Amino acid sequence: MILALDIGSSSVRAGLYSREAQPEQGLNARRIYDLSTTADGGAEVQADFLFELVCQAIDEVLLKGESSSEEIDAVAISTFWHNMLGLDSAQEPLTPVYSWADTRSTRAAEQLKRLLSEESCHARTGTVFHPSFLPAKLLWLRESHPQVWKRTARWMSFGEYLLLKLFGETVCSISMASGTGLLDQFRCCWDEEILNVLSLSPERLSPLSDFHTSLQSLRVIYASRWPRLRSVPWFPALGDGACSNIGSGCFDSKRVALMVGTSGAMRVCLNREPSVIPPGLWCYHVDRRRFLMGGALSNGGILFEWLHETLRVEDNPEALEQMISAQSPTAHGLTVLPFLAGERSPGWKGHARAAIVGLSLHTRPVEILRAGLESVAYRFAKIASLLKKAVPDSVEIVASGGALLKSPAWTQIMADVIGQPMITSAVAEASSRGAALLALEAMKIISDFNQLPNPVGHIYLPDPKKHEIYANAMNRQDELYELLVNQMSSSTIQN
């Protein structure tokens, strides 16, 4: 069996998978947590708190599975992309783990645009200058917290810190490095030009490794705690988006994955080097030979949750679904910008904030909620259009993620807005399963992901008439975006 750890931005999961990448029923665990947020845009979690949640999840799974005669042959890890923390010379955390949702480095991102050519850096690193990526975060910390910067011996992601705590050494996978904004995607090495501007030497980052390199022999304290894991290989942490694509069956250019969890993303896996990275999109790695192209939204399920809680809409999920479905497209007359946590794809305006226009005395809370769900779908439609131009052979969209799959009404809205059929994934935990699949491949237990079934669920067909209505609503959102985001960008950043 494979023990898969999935460390996301709102929960930690652990579960056992068979040689066929099937979850072992009942042999799983989950720990939920919240990022700490601040009024100035902070979104963080303490590293050792998160580490303890991982340990607790492993404890629970091993306890549940102690009667099983099956051996655990490896540990695979999926972690949320674009996170970062700093360690001192004693390898103790000096900073919290900064999430992709932390926007305090917005001004630093604008500063980078003046120091470097964003276009050429995007062509090399696959990322733009935005607070979700590490260059802006590092520059912000260097200038805002100089003492922390000087004392920090190493910068790394939480997945690297996890291995460091467990083994006393660590590596950074090409997958995790590719989401930092610091990696030359095509040479698979840290980007010299960006490091020079940041005054950051490569020695302050982790050594790079492909996924197939593993660590073994846990430190004594953890070998005693988990005897079944004492000498098994632990593979380096991979980006959760890459794992989600693989786990949901979107491991070639024919299938596009649309995922809505806390955040959201639309991604296609390429088994070749892309000839160009289109503006508005990013490009990362699954491993050294596989690329992942797409776009990401900071506001996915988190918007649904915020609107539901803030507006105090119906608590019964079935009743709420009926209320949402009963409304006609855009009949509420509202136009929404869903940027509670800033914007990522395709405009990459980190300073952007949410707005609701068109409210009246007649507006009901559920109408605001429905308008918010439609607004997220419009942002996905823009990513879908860019992806279709870049990867024209993509023919299917597979939907995954708990926030989307628990709402058939929202899934139907997505299909109607984008104008393509939406196939729901029947994989309960796509990121976790993807990590397990990649471990099975690395161990040569499987050689082709097509050997195994990739279960799907319901197909949502788009309604052409509703698609036309939504196209007009998208134009209204574009007008509001131009007015409130593009026109106000300079003054917002300066203030």
pLDDT at 489: 56
Query: Would you place residue 402 in the very low, low, confident or very high pLDDT band (cuts 50, 70, 90)?
Result: confident
Ordered by start, the domain boundaries in the chain are 2-240, 250-426+463-495
* Percentage of the chain lying above the pLDDT 90 cut: 87
Residues 218-277 have pLDDT tens digits of: 999 999 999 999 999 999 999 999 999 999 999 999 999 999 988 899 999 999 999 889
Indicate the burial class of 201 (C-beta count within 10 angstroms; 0-12, 13-18, 19 or more): exposed
Question: Tell me, what's the pLDDT at 412?
Answer: 97
CATH classification of 2-240, choosing from 3.40.50.10420, 3.30.750.24, 3.40.50.800, 3.30.420.40? Answer: 3.30.420.40
Banded model confidence at residue 494, pLDDT cuts 50, 70, 90 = very low
CB crowding 54-83: b at 16 or more within 10 Å, else e: bbebbebbbebbeeeeeebebbbbbbbbbb
pLDDT band at 438 (very low <50, low <70, confident <90, very high): very high
Quick: pLDDT tens for 131-184.
999 999 999 999 999 999 999 999 999 999 999 999 999 999 999 999 999 999
361 pLDDT higher than 90:
yes
How does pLDDT run across 302-358, given as a tens digit for each residue? 999 999 999 999 999 999 999 999 999 999 999 999 999 889 999 999 889 999 999
Task: Give the per-residue pLDDT at 455.
Answer: 86
60-64-70 Cα angle (round to 5): 120
Q: What is the pLDDT of residues 103-146, one digit of tens each?
A: 999 999 999 999 999 999 999 999 999 999 999 999 999 999 99
Architecture of domain 250-426+463-495 in this structure: 2-Layer Sandwich (3.30)
Residues 272-280: contacts with CB within 8 Å, 24+ apart?
273/186, 274/390, 276/123, 276/390, 277/122, 277/123, 277/126, 278/386, 278/389, 278/390, 279/122, 279/346, 280/345, 280/346, 280/347, 280/348, 280/382, 280/383, 280/386
Proportion of the chain above pLDDT 70, given as a percent = 98
Q: What is the mean pLDDT of the chain?
A: 94
Q: Are 270 and 293 in contact (CB under 8 A)?
A: yes
Q: Work out the pLDDT band at 211, boundaries 50, 70, 90.
A: confident
Q: Do domains 2-240 and 250-426+463-495 have the same CATH topology?
A: yes
